[in-house]
Structure 1
Amino acid sequence: MRRNLLTLAAAMAAAALFSTASQAQSFPDKTVTFIVPFAAGSATDLLARALAQAVTLDAKVSVVVDNKPGGNAFIGAQAAARAKPDGYTVLIATNTTHAANEHLFKKLPYDPVKDFEPLTLLGRGGQIMLVNPSLGVNTVAEFVKLAKSKPGKLSFGSGSSSSRIAGELFKQMAGAYIVAIPYRSNPPAVTDLIGGQIDVMITDMATGLPQVKGGKLKALGVSTLQRSPLAPDVPTISEAGVKGYEMTYWFAAYAPAGTPAPVVARLNELLVKAAKSSTAASFYQSTGTEITTTTPEGLRKVQADESVKWGKIIQAAGIAPE
Structure 2
Amino acid sequence: MRSTSLLFAAALSWGVGTGGHAVAQSWPSRPITVISAFPPANNDQIIRMVDGPFQAVFKQPLVIENRPGAGGNLGAEAVARATPDGHTLLVTVDTVATVNPRVYQNLKFKADVDLVPIIYLANSAQTLVCHPSVPVKSVAELGAHARSHDLSYASGGQGVPGHLAAEMFLAATGLRMTHIPYKGPTAALQDLMGGNVHCGFLATPTVMPHVKSGRLTGLAVTSARRSPIALELQTMSEAGVAGFEASFGQLLLAPRGTPAPVVAALNETFAAALAQDDVRARMLAMDLEFVPNTPEQAAARLRKEADKWARVVERLGLRAD
- TM value normalised by structure 1: 0.85
In structure 2, what is the Cα distance between the partners aligned to 1:279 and 1:59? Answer: 21
Q: Which amino acid is the alignment partner of residue 76 of structure 1?
A: G
Paired residues of 2:28 and 2:87 also in contact (CA < 8 A): no
C-alpha separation in 2, matches of 1:314 and 1:62: 38
Pick which of 218-227 and 100-109 moved more.
100-109
Matched pairs, number? 303
Following superposition of structure 1 onto structure 2, how do residues 112-261 of structure 1 map, counting pairs within 5 Å? 112-150=111-149, 153-160=150-157, 161-261=160-260
Structure 1 residue 36 and structure 2 residue 44: aligned? Answer: no
8 A contact 1:28–1:61 mirrored in 2: no
Deviation of 1:173 after TM superposition, in Å, equals: 0.6
185-194 or 113-122, which deviates more? 185-194
Partner AA of 2:156 in structure 1: G
Q: Is the 8 A contact 2:77 2:111 kept in 1?
A: no
Question: What corresponds to 1:289 in structure 2?
Answer: 288
Gaps of 5+ in 2: 1-17
In the TM superposition, 1:258-277 aligns within 5 A as 258-277=257-276
Alpha-carbon distance change, 21 to 186 in structure 1, aligned in 2, over 3 angstroms: closer
Shift of 1:251: 0.9
Deviations 1:210-257 (A, max 9, x none): 111111111111110100110111111111121111112211112221
Relative to 1, partners in 2 of residues 1:185 and 1:79: Cα closer, same or farther, differing over 3 Å?
closer
Aligned residue for 2:118, secondary structure, equals strand
Higher helix share: 1
Q: Secondary structure at the match of 1:212?
A: helix
Q: Once the 2 structures are TM-superposed, how far is the Cα of residue 39 of structure 1 from its aligned partner?
A: 5.2
Q: 1:236 to 1:281 in 2, by over 3 A?
A: same
Moved more, 172-181 or 135-144: 135-144
Is the 1:132–1:217 Cα contact (8 Å) retained in structure 2?
Answer: yes
Distance 1:68 1:218 in 2: 31
Q: Write the deviation string for residues 24-66 of structure 1: whole angstroms up to 9, x where unpaired.
A: 4546453341422335523222222222233113333333223
Say what the alpha-carbon RMSD is for the aligned residues.
2.4
Q: Which one is further off, 296-305 or 79-88?
A: 79-88
1:172-205 superposed Cα distances (whole Å, 9 cap, x missing partner): 0111111111122223333333333322111112
Per the normalisation by structure 2, the TM-score is: 0.85
Q: Which runs of 5+ in 1 are unaligned?
A: 1-18
Question: What percentage of aligned pairs have identical amino acids?
Answer: 30
User: Could you tell me whether the CA contact under 8 Å between 1:92 and 1:251 is conserved in 2?
Assistant: yes
Q: Conserved in 2, the CA contact under 8 Å of 1:95 and 1:251?
A: yes
Name 1:7's counterpart in structure 2: none
Q: Which piece of structure 1 moves more, 67-76 or 267-276?
A: 67-76
